[in-house]
Amino acid sequence: MRRYFQKGSPKIFDKLEMNVPYPKGHRVEYAKGSKSPAWQRKEGKSQSGGLNRKGIASYRRANPGSKLSMAVTTKPSKLKKGSKAANRRKSFCARMTGMKKRLTSAKTARDPNSRINKSLRKWNC
Question: What secondary structure does DSSP assign to 45-81, as a single string?
Answer: B-TTSSB-HHHHHHHHHHSTT--------S-GGGSPT
**pLDDT by residue, tens only, the chain of 125 residues:** 455 555 555 555 454 444 555 555 656 665 566 678 888 889 989 888 888 999 999 999 888 888 898 999 999 999 999 999 999 999 999 999 999 999 899 999 999 999 999 999 999 99
pTM of the model: 0.67
